[in-house]
Structure 1
Amino acid sequence: PIIFFFVALAVLRLKGHVAGAITLILSILIAIFAFKMPIDMAFAAAGYGFIYGLWPIAWIIVAAVFLYKLTVASGQFDIIRSSVISITDDQRLQVLLIGFSFGALLEGAAGFGAPVAITGALLVGLGFKPLYAAGLCLIANTAPVAFGALGVPILVAGQVTGIDPFHIGAMAGRQLPFLSVLVPFWLVAMMDGWKGVKETWPAALVAGGSFAVTQFFTSNYIGPELPDITSALVSIVSLALFLKVWRPKNTET
């Protein structure tokens, strides 16, 4: 079913809701006829999945999109853009600040594609090409995506497996920090190669290092709901303060 869903979207070019409905029917048929799942249990599982998709997943997305539309309509979106430019006009550092740090905050609060859409729009407003901005934001999202919106992926994994979500989140928090440190360097390397990494490595280290350390401690001592939010906030503040006292030798605009 998962493979069919990707094929339906990417190859057959079906609408999302159509592809989802067909995939649901296919999943129910496979569960009943291939795995001999009782019919009532198959439909009950499908109904539970549908309800869980509406709450909390769909509700989180609606709230995120509403907040984004509100900032645009009120003019706050332009203020955010101006604030970022006042911190740095170097596009490599803007990607770290918006795509990585701020994107992680949105991932922790909204998730489900909203961070890429919102941060991508911010980068386009700063002069990035749309496809280029989306690609960078997708890569940046690899650091916080495991915990998702308020820890939903970890909580669901706990419900499915019967394992305490706290333990799952703690284990993820011991593995992910290594990736979180590398992602900012990866973003800069994609934008400006090894030259860019040499020029901006202090900022990349501050962004990734502060994120990774906070991610570890939050996931291991607080729980799976907040690692993305706390890590992103610490990363944003750390990077913004660092950029007040440090600038790369060459600015990439």
Structure 2
Amino acid sequence: MYQQSFDALGGSTAWTALAAVLPLTVTFVLIGAGRLRSHQAVGAGLLGAAAVAAGYGMPPGQVLSAAAEGAAYGLVPLTWIVVNALWIHRMTVDSGHFAVLRRSFAALSADRRVQALVIAFCLGSLLEALAGFGTPVALAAAMLIALGFAPFKAVTLALVANAATAAYGAMGTPVVTLGRVTGLPADELGEVIGRQAPLVTLLVPFVLVWLTDRRRGLREAWEPALVCGVAAGTAQVTASALLPVELVGLVSALTALAAVLVWARLRHRPPVGRRPVPRLIAGGSAQAAQDMLDRARVLARDGWRGALSACLPYLIIVAVFGVAQTPWVHALLHRATVGFPWPGLRLRDWQGGVPAQSVFTLEPLAGGTLLLLAGLVGVAALRIRPGRALRAYRDVLHQLRHSVLTVCGVLAMAYVMGLSGQTAAIGHAVAATGGAMAALAPALGWLGTTVTGSATSANALFGSLQSAAAQATGLPVHLLAAANDAGGSLAKPISPQNLAIAAAVAELHGAEGRIFRSVVLHSAALLALLCLLVYLESTPLLSWLLP
């Protein structure tokens, strides 16, 4: 029986935690330097994690078993989600419906900065609230590319936007998980998160405008960015205080979408200056700019019926996931869930219990399966021939063949680190900082999501640790626990798992390092601001913000 320990290396907690950082350091240095393909960099990180686990005393057989479980989780549900999400998008493109959708967005606004807000932030937030995992990044990036954004710019926008939406993602699953591991009511935690996350929610639209068009974008498109951020942030604060956590993300996304659409309808003015509209931004070409103007002029040819048909696949996704989250349907689907101890794992966590990661949970009627159902309904609704749908599915499988290795490798490394106690060792070292824990609490959640790719997993890993640290230091328990979730969402852009998904969608194979370098500073800057906010909330200066 393997027992996790904070002092596994020579009885030193410092050395134990320092060694645990090695796999992450190796992975991000190799990805960031761009010297290796992503699956090679992740493979090196996995070897590092296995070596550290062996140094901790974990038996080799259990190390292999932990890696196998992580790889299996990479296949189901993550790869299953991405495959079906891209299949739906590919069908709309191949059938010509997405061309109509492009013209509809061009008629709404030919300004790509507004389109980035609508698709990356608003639509991405809606998909995150309903589905989570890699779904919003996959679909938002694909839609931006189809609208004429350069692939690299599109995935950068989709990843950064995801940082503002994951705190209440997947119908509040991260918050519900946090409540379970800490013993605190989920609705109370959600209300505290609603006093932290809106800071990021307010700033991210401005970051998206900056990424799309730099200084000119901020000068000309600050107004829709402000409308979007204020609407989403205000909705988060209000909904987190009045509604169940399962609805906060959904209400915030819909409010932001409605606000931007109303602004685009009533207040939009073409950019000033000498350059034509739309300006050559987001990596677009002169031809792409002219195409967007042409699409806006010929929208009348499509009519509202054509625009509605083009939106139908995405409306079906929202409807399917919305129905699936109603209490009685959710309970019915949940009956198919199967959980079992993963073979070959005999271990205890640092508290003497069974680690949650050692139990493999298979949800056959969730995530990717719901997307598959939505796709089949879309095939029927759009009258797409079965042969065309099958060819689209085959093309998606071919497109993702290299990315599956990266996703499975990332999860294998995460599970080896988690089950051997490396992740907990890092968390324990951070928790030992005493009063400074308030400033570092979001960073712990950020680290957890970086390793696992999931804010839910980060809360499961570090939620109880945050609670224990708060009690030991006299800090508010709700504050630190909530900070773990709010900070965890900010690591979504740099998680190797999401980087692999983004690169696969844009067919930027081997460009994960470049994508990582484009988003890491934004993620780190937002994290620093959140750390400052949480620290101030632990002092009389801003403690009044807490409910």
Q: 1:14 to 1:244 in 2, by over 3 A?
A: closer
Alignment of 1:83-94 (within 5 A): 83-94=104-115
- The TM-score, its normalising length taken from structure 2, stands at 0.39
Deviations 1:10-32 (A, max 9, x none): 4442352x544553343233123
Alignment of 1:217-236 (within 5 A): 217-219=238-240, 221-223=243-245, 225-236=246-257
What is the deviation of 1:151? 4.8
Match of 1:141 among 156, 162, 174: 162
- The TM-score, its normalising length taken from structure 1, stands at 0.76
What is the deviation of 1:83? 1.8
What is the deviation of 1:52? 3.7
Note if 1:130 corresponds to 2:151.
Answer: yes
What is the deviation of 1:68? 1.8
What is the deviation of 1:192? 4.6
Match of 1:14 among 14, 17, 37: 37
Equivalence for 2:195 = 174
Note if 1:4 corresponds to 2:26.
Answer: yes
Note if 1:107 corresponds to 2:113.
Answer: no
Q: Which amino acid aligns with 2:256?
A: S
Q: 1:207 to 1:171 in 2, by over 3 A?
A: same
Equivalence for 2:116 = 95
8 Å Cα contact 2:89/2:142 also seen in 1: no
Supply the distance in 2 between the matched residues of 1:71 and 1:43 (Cα, whole angstroms): 41
What is the deviation of 1:37? 3.7
Q: Which amino acid aligns with 1:232?
A: A
In structure 2, list runs of 5 or more residues that go unmatched.
Answer: 1-22, 279-547
Equivalence for 2:263 = 242
Higher relative helix content: 1
How much identity, in percent, do the aligned residues show?
35
8 Å Cα contact 1:92/1:188 also seen in 2: yes
In structure 1, list runs of 5 or more residues that go unmatched.
Answer: none
DSSP 3-state at the match of 1:89: coil
Equivalence for 1:183 = 204
**Of 240-249 and 141-150, the range deviating more from structure 2:** 141-150
Note if 1:24 corresponds to 2:46.
Answer: yes
Note if 1:206 corresponds to 2:227.
Answer: yes
8 Å Cα contact 2:85/2:138 also seen in 1: no
What is the deviation of 1:149? 4.6
DSSP 3-state at the match of 1:181: helix
Number of residues paired by the alignment?
A: 249
Deviations 1:211-233 (A, max 9, x none): 1123334455322x554443222
**Of 191-200 and 139-148, the range deviating more from structure 2:** 191-200
Q: Which amino acid aligns with 1:32?
A: A
What is the deviation of 1:180? 0.9
> Whose radius of gyration is greater, 1 or 2?
2
Q: Which amino acid aligns with 1:119?
A: A
**Of 132-141 and 145-154, the range deviating more from structure 2:** 145-154
**Of 108-117 and 243-252, the range deviating more from structure 2:** 108-117
Note if 1:82 corresponds to 2:103.
Answer: yes
DSSP 3-state at the match of 1:174: coil
Supply the distance in 2 between the matched residues of 1:49 and 1:155 (Cα, whole angstroms): 23
Supply the distance in 2 between the matched residues of 1:168 and 1:36 (Cα, whole angstroms): 37
CA RMSD of aligned residues (A): 3.4
8 Å Cα contact 1:157/1:165 also seen in 2: no
What is the deviation of 1:175? 1.0
Q: Which amino acid aligns with 2:27?
A: F
Supply the distance in 2 between the matched residues of 1:192 and 1:174 (Cα, whole angstroms): 30
Equivalence for 1:66 = 87
Supply the distance in 1 between the matched residues of 2:77 and 2:178 (Cα, whole angstroms): 15
Q: 1:51 to 1:163 in 2, by over 3 A?
A: farther
8 Å Cα contact 2:235/2:252 also seen in 1: yes
DSSP 3-state at the match of 2:196: helix
Deviations 1:172-228 (A, max 9, x none): 3321111111222233344455664454333222211221123334455322x5544
Deviations 1:1-48 (A, max 9, x none): 1222234444442352x5445533432331232x23456665554454
8 Å Cα contact 1:105/1:232 also seen in 2: yes
Q: Which amino acid aligns with 2:150?
A: K
DSSP 3-state at the match of 1:214: helix
Q: Which amino acid aligns with 1:66?
A: W
8 Å Cα contact 1:154/1:165 also seen in 2: no
Q: Which amino acid aligns with 1:181?
A: L
